[in-house]
Structure formats: C-alpha cells, structure tokens
Structure 1
Amino acid sequence: MKSSKITIIFYLALMFSYLLVSCSEEEDTKMEEPPQMSVHVPAKGNSWFLANVGTNQMKSSDFDGFSWTSKSSVLRTYFRLEKAGTVHIGLKGTVSSGSSTIRATFQNESKEIKIKDTDHGTVYIGSFTVPSAGYYYVDLTGIDRAGNQFAAVEYIALGGDATLSGVHFSNEDYFYWGRRGPSVHLAYEKPEGTADVQWFYNEVTVPEGNDVVGSYFMANGFGEGYFGMQVNSTSERRILFSVWSPYQTDDPGSIPEDQRVKLIAKGDQTTINDFGGEGSGGQSYLVFNWEAGRTYRFLLKGEPAGDNKTDYKAYFFDPKQSKWYFIAQWRRPLISTYLTGLHSFLENFDTATGPMGRMVNYNNQWVYDTNSTWHEMIRARFTADATGRDKARLDYAGGYQSGDNGFFLKNCGFFNETSKVDTYHTRPALGTAPDIDFTQLP
C-alpha cells in the first residue's frame, strides 16, 4: 500500500513538472513571436547594391539584374519615417537551396539572420529606436551561402509606432522613376517692361563632388527645348542642346517630314542625332570635359524664321579658353515665337545612381529683348516633378539660400531637408549685364 502511494506521488510530481515545462515553453514561444510588420518596402524600387561603402569611392548599381555573390556587396534599402519611436524591421527573401547567413545593419547596430530555402514568410531582424523623422536605410551584407546567390530579396518589412504617421517609399508605379529620383526646376520670371525675348543668358556652377554620373544640369530651358551640361559616364561629359518636334511621339522615326525639326547649322565638333523616349526631336551635343567647381556660361537665341517656323541657336562659353562654342541652330516648324517659358532643371537619368546626391547653382540670369535691352531675372518659382509631388521620393530642394551663389537645385541622396514646391525665391541682383558682342559669336 505504501509503495502504491509513493508511485502515485511520483507520477503526480512528474506530471506537474511536465506541465510547468510545457507552460514555460509555450510562454517562451509566445514571447518569441515577431511583432506585426505590415508595411512592406519593395526592394525593386527602393534598393541598390553598393560597393566601397563609407568611402569617397562609393559606387551604386541597379537592384535589377545584379548577381549578389560577393561578400563586399551591400544591399541598401531606403525608406522615410515620419515619426520618431520604435521601428520593427524584418526581411522577406528566398534562397535557391540550403540557407544563407546575412548581416543586417540599421543605425550602426548589426544582427545576423538566416534565410532557409524552406522559409516562405518574413524573417524578423529586430526592433530599433529612431530619434526623429527622416530617411533611414537597412544594409544587408552576405556572410555565407549554399546557393548561387545570397538571397533574392522581395521587401523590407516595417512596423512599430515610428510607422504610424506614414512611411514614404517608391511603390510599383514609381519603380523606374523612383530609382532615378525626383527632378526639380526653376521657372524664371521676366521683369516688367521686357519685350519679346530674343536671347537668354545663364551661368552654371556644379560644386565639387556633385558631378555624379547621370546628372543633367539643364541651364537654358525654353518652351520648345533645353540646353545644359551632362555627366554621361565616368569618361564622358556633354553640352547638350535639344529641340522638340511639334509632333507628339516618343518615336522620332514616325515624325512626318513637314513636322521634323531641321538642322540649319552646327559647330565643327558637334554631334547631331534624333532623340525619342520623352517626346522626340533634334539633338545636338558637344563632348566636353567640363569641371566641377568652375562656372560656365550658356547663351540661347530664339526668333521667328518666317513661314510659321522658329530658329533656335545655342552657344557655350569655356572660361579656361575664354572661348564661345557654337553648338547648333535648329528650325522648328508650326510655330512662330521668341523665347518663352525660361527655366532650369536638375535631373538624374541613370537609375543606378539614384542614391547619390547632387546639386547645382544657377546665377546671373539675363534676357535680351527685341528692344535691344538687357533685363536681369532675379525671381524664380521652384517646382518638382510627380516623383516628388507624389512623395515617392522626398529628397529634393531648391530656391535661394544666401550669399552670392544664386539659385540652387538639389536632388537624390536621400537627404531630409525637403523644400516646399510652388514657392517663389529672389536672389540678390548683380546689376552687370553680360558683355557679349553678338556679331562676334562663331
């Protein structure tokens, strides 16, 4: 009898211990459940692969088509939070076989995570505190892999109270334009009393370190075209002058003969092409190794040519040689006008350099009218394109700040100081008109 009681007590104690362990394990399981992360930032529109991170030689590559096999490649995904607080971060990705170990870094805090070929959901990275609203990024670095790449990343998942006031990133509608970044513009205001504008003069300075590949620092824009300088690659830069055809198409080959922009003349070193993709027309450019930190002068002429046509003529001044270059003269049909819609803009046309910041100064704007009088333009309206207005990207700025550098435009780089669009800005008047003898231009 005594033995039976001992046996019963033993089994009761064993069952009680089992229940305690089970409850403890169940409690641990509950504690380990990841927090809710319902905001998904698509990698396709918001990520770039970076090399040489943290150095002056940092380079960026497009997310699409990149083979993530090197441990030195960093996959960086950007997003903007509108509130300080706690942010939960996770990752949705797949591996072709086995598993990959990846280091995830946010705000200088790193954690290693493992992605298995059996994973089909979000892998929780961790919870972090952000001190203020603004742009942030998650860096992923491959440590070990069994498959042919470290991972195919679909999105970064976000949650927490830091996301409650909004999270800005490029959605599917802006996968292309969001990677290029927002374009920004200055629309110049003609002074009262200005007659028809025959000539438009502008000075452009790109500060050192801002001559990023893919940049178009457009100086002299007008109703029918644009004229400025580009960084086309690491080895080539251009002075570009283009005039649109009145025929609405992105295919220059489809333009009827009577609506084609005609080349009247060009400089000795100027290359001539048709262009398409964003409207179509005539393109002319001078391959010229312009330098950051140096001020260049742009001069554009526009006037009726008779028979309901208009001629446009562009000149570029190199200060090192004290020389004006003639770029080209184009004749546009179905319009008879002087220069209108005078503006400048800054754009990035290379999606691979979307995370790289750039800026430009525009100064000393003047117009010469049909009364043979120079007028200084000191007021401009700052605007941004749909990428900025729809808040796919908010890293844009422009207007006038201070000093004698004139107006500025800035975009890309995921900086936080966004300028208000549709605002007017006034720079100090310089008061000295350009000293140009038009009869001596080439």
Structure 2
Amino acid sequence: MKNYKKSIDKIVLALISTCILACSSDKKPLNPEGNKELDLSIMIPPGGNSWVINSIEQDAVLIHDSGIHNWTALDDIIRIYFHTKLTGELHLGLNIKSETGPSTIKVTVGNTTKNVAVDNTTYKNVEIGRFDITKSGYNFIEIQGLQKKGEYIGDINKILIGGPATASGISFVPEEFSFHFGRRGPSVHLTYKMPENKDVIYFYNEITVPQGEDVVGSYFMANGFGEGYFGIQVNSDTERRILFSVWSPFVTDDPSTIPDDYKVILLGKGEGVTDGSFGGEGSGGQSYKVFDWKSENTYKFLLKGEPSVNNSTDYTAYFYAPEESEWKLIASFRRPHTNTYLKRFHSFLENFSTHTGFISRKGKYTNQWVYDTQDQWHELTTAKFTADATARNKARLDYAGGVKGNSFYMRNCGFFDENTTMNIEFSRTSNGIKPNIDFSSLPNLGSQQN
C-alpha cells in the first residue's frame, strides 16, 4: 500500500510540473485585465482624426500629420473620433513614448476611464484595455495628462483598436486620404432646379444661421453660380466677413500665373470692401467686407450677371442686412473670355478651419428666386443635395441636408450620427411672395467704374 501511495504522489507532482512548464512557456503577452490578448489590429492615424477640443491654439501645436507631439499641458483634452457599425467590446492600445520622463495619462471611452503609466522612452505599443461601446455611430477616445516628471507628457504615433465592436468595420480618416480635408470635414451643397429656357440676370437668396451654429471656420455660401460664389464667413472669434469671388477662366491655383487678358477686373466696390485675388482652389478676383453679422438674423443676397463688352461678363453682388435696412454693394467684377447670363445656381456649407472640424454647424437657406431678362421672377423650390470627396470617400460621415417647412438646411462636421443620401432631391414649401427690390435704386459702382 505504501508503494502505491508513493506512486500516486509521483504522478501528481509530475502533472503539477507539466502544468507549470506549459504555462511558463506561453509566449503571448498577458493583458493587465485578464489572460486574453487584446486585438489591436486596426490602426487609426491620430494626425487626421484628433483634436484638442478645449483649445484651438493648442490644437495647432499638438496635432500633426505624423501624430500627437509637443504635448506639455496637463489640461489639454485630446479626442480621437471613429465610427462603428456595432456596439460591444472595444480593445484599445496606443503607440506612445515619454522620452523626457515618466508620465501618467487617463484614457476614457464612454463611461469608463483608465489611468495608464507611460515610462518607455521609445515608441512602444501600450495596451490600454477593454471598453464598452454602447451605441453604434460616432464614438471618441478621450486622452488627458495626469502627471509628468519631464517637460513632455508623451508623443502618440498610432491609435490601435480592435475587438467585437469593430467586427463589421469602422470609419475614420485613413492614411491615404488628405488629413487637411479630413480634419476640415465634409462640405455639403444644394443645387437648385432652374426654370427652363430662361436667361437669368438676378439670383436672390436668404440665409439664417441658428444660434450656436456660427462656428469659427464656417462659410455659409448663399449665391453660387457657374463662375463664382457669394456668402458669409466666420473668420475668427472677433471677425466675420461677407465674401464675393469670381474665378478666372484661366485654370490655375496660382493667381500670379494668370495672363493679363484672363485676369478678372474689378469694376467697383462698396464702402469698406477689400479687394484682391485668391488662389489654392482655382484663382480669380476676390472681395470681402468685414461685417459682424449675427446668428438668428436673416441676411439677403442678390447677384447680378449679364454679358458685357469684348466677350466678357459682369457680375455684381449686393448684400442686405436687417441691421442697416438697405442694400449694400459688395463688388462688381468683369470676367473675360465669358459671355453668359447667370447659370448653375447652388449654395454650400463648408468648414475651412482644420481646428474646428469636430464642431457641428448648420445653416437655413430660404426663399430662393431668379429674375429673367423678360422681367419675370421665378421661385426655386427644388434642390439636389450633394457632398464633397471627403464624404464620397467615407472619410467623414457627418453630413446632412434637407427641408424644414419653407427652408432648405445643410449641416456638417461635429461627428453626428445621421447623414443624408447624396444626390437626393428636396422640395420646400413655396413662399409665393416675390422679392420687393427696386433695381434702379441699388447702389451704383461709384468712381471705380471702368
């Protein structure tokens, strides 16, 4: 019996030893939260998907195409946005370093926050953990510094995610897409259905920006036409503009290369209007008036276009503010090598600031009319909704447009979940009240007329 017991004891010891050897030979790293390795197979480039949400100035310092750098302030709040089709568990890691001394950061997804120590001085994949995604659509990862011993909190090279919440795919601005346009967000457009067989000489439109939607970087473009555009902008916290531009027929992004006979000529401008040229997205003549327009006020836009001398067309823009109760001349330009009345009427909403692409903005576009060469007004009540390449390539999905009563509306940026099918047509309720404008009393071009 004693020999039998000894044999059993030897077998048990052998099994225990085998288990210890098997466990110690497993080469997979252990996650701090359990014995299953995190799935970090998806890389989100922070350069195209991150913002410092509490400071536009710091956003310009921290967010670069190559990642998040120069991070020194503990009160900077950084958000990385992504879109999921599913809810469920999200696995998260960061490719990060803290080369000037150990630091501690906090990482939040949804209602869960984890504090993470970073002490590696070269880039390393650091597992953050598991989080619950409780809604499909846009979600964000929020990162903030808690402690630092060196000058910098850390540098983040990559955002790494995976897990069940990503099983049906996710959307974000990919590396192969322009981070500049991805961070600006999608632009949205309305193209108005025109009366057939009419030569149109005037185009009238109205815009109201709801309270809180007048975000820095917004261009609420009212009167777009085949050769230019006219609308209002939010240029900074302290400056707003009325902007009117006409493209040159010479296609270039550098206005200095336009031959003299293709240059857009200024015929005249209103009081306080600055004129010049523009480039970067085509080139041509530009004018703007600094004007502190307000949300909730309705502003009126009137554009005139008609053939002129020597195979040219003259375009003139007028602006009506309720604060001033009269039509003001913005500018008049002559476009060479062009002989046409107004055509291709459209409006758009865009964000031209990469630092505010995480903030939603919205505009109401109301009461569109055109006036033809037979002295007849025609109301425009149907428009097709489209969006730019950022939306078409699914780099950003936060774009929308539609109708509410007698107004069209457009909305973009801000990572809202609902979006609108592109190329769909909308029809608004007709107002039936023609604009009451005495064309003969509109301000003339003054002493700068050519």
TM-score in terms of structure 1 length: 0.91
Give the aligned partner of residue 187 of structure 1. Answer: 191
SS of the residue 1:253 aligns to: helix
Contact 2:69 2:155 in 1 (8 A): no
Contact 1:382 1:424 in 2 (8 A): yes
- The whole-number CA distance in structure 2 between the counterparts of 1:150 and 1:361 is 43
- Confirm or deny that 1:436 pairs with 2:440: no
- Confirm or deny that 1:209 pairs with 2:212: yes
Contact 1:243 1:282 in 2 (8 A): yes
Contact 2:99 2:121 in 1 (8 A): no
Give the aligned partner of residue 422 of structure 1. Answer: 423
Measure how far apart 1:376 and its partner are.
0.1
Measure how far apart 1:129 and its partner are.
2.5
Contact 2:29 2:37 in 1 (8 A): no
Give the aligned partner of residue 182 of structure 2. Answer: 178
User: Residue type of the partner of 1:357?
Assistant: S
- The whole-number CA distance in structure 2 between the counterparts of 1:395 and 1:147 is 38
Alignment gaps of 5+ in structure 2 = 1-7, 444-450
CA deviation profile, 1:42-81 (whole Å, cap 9, x unmatched): 10000011228xxxxx987241286321111111100101
Measure how far apart 1:29 and its partner are.
5.9
- The whole-number CA distance in structure 1 between the counterparts of 2:112 and 2:388 is 35
SS of the residue 1:51 aligns to: coil
Give the aligned partner of residue 332 of structure 1. Answer: 335
Instruction: Identify the match of residue 312 of structure 2 among 301, 309, 312.
Output: 309
Give the aligned partner of residue 117 of structure 1. Answer: 120
Measure how far apart 1:103 and its partner are.
0.3
User: Residue type of the partner of 2:179?
Assistant: F
CA deviation profile, 1:296-319 (whole Å, cap 9, x unmatched): 000000000021100000000011
- The whole-number CA distance in structure 2 between the counterparts of 1:278 and 1:413 is 24
Percentage identity across aligned positions? Answer: 48
Contact 1:186 1:399 in 2 (8 A): no
Measure how far apart 1:121 and its partner are.
3.3
Contact 1:180 1:348 in 2 (8 A): yes
Contact 1:183 1:411 in 2 (8 A): yes
Instruction: Identify the match of residue 137 of structure 2 among 131, 134, 138.
Output: 134
Contact 2:218 2:235 in 1 (8 A): yes
Give the aligned partner of residue 3 of structure 1. Answer: none
Contact 2:97 2:124 in 1 (8 A): no
Measure how far apart 1:323 and its partner are.
1.4
- Confirm or deny that 1:252 pairs with 2:255: yes
Instruction: Identify the match of residue 232 of structure 2 among 210, 226, 229.
Output: 229
Contact 1:101 1:113 in 2 (8 A): yes
- The whole-number CA distance in structure 2 between the counterparts of 1:414 and 1:226 is 27
Alignment gaps of 5+ in structure 1 = 1-8, 53-57
Contact 1:299 1:316 in 2 (8 A): yes
Report the number of matched residues: 429
- The whole-number CA distance in structure 2 between the counterparts of 1:61 and 1:201 is 38
TM-score in terms of structure 2 length: 0.90
SS of the residue 1:388 aligns to: helix
User: Residue type of the partner of 2:432?
Assistant: G
Give the aligned partner of residue 391 of structure 1. Answer: 394
Give the aligned partner of residue 61 of structure 1. Answer: 59
- The whole-number CA distance in structure 2 between the counterparts of 1:229 and 1:152 is 38
Contact 1:103 1:110 in 2 (8 A): yes
- The whole-number CA distance in structure 1 between the counterparts of 2:58 and 2:149 is 26
CA deviation profile, 1:124-170 (whole Å, cap 9, x unmatched): 21222323320000001101223321111112111112212211111
SS of the residue 2:99 aligns to: coil
SS of the residue 2:349 aligns to: strand
Give the aligned partner of residue 5 of structure 1. Answer: none
Contact 1:306 1:336 in 2 (8 A): no
Query: 4+ runs of 1 displaced by more than 3 Å?
Result: 9-33, 118-121
CA deviation profile, 1:374-431 (whole Å, cap 9, x unmatched): 000000000000000000000000121x334x00010000000111100000000000
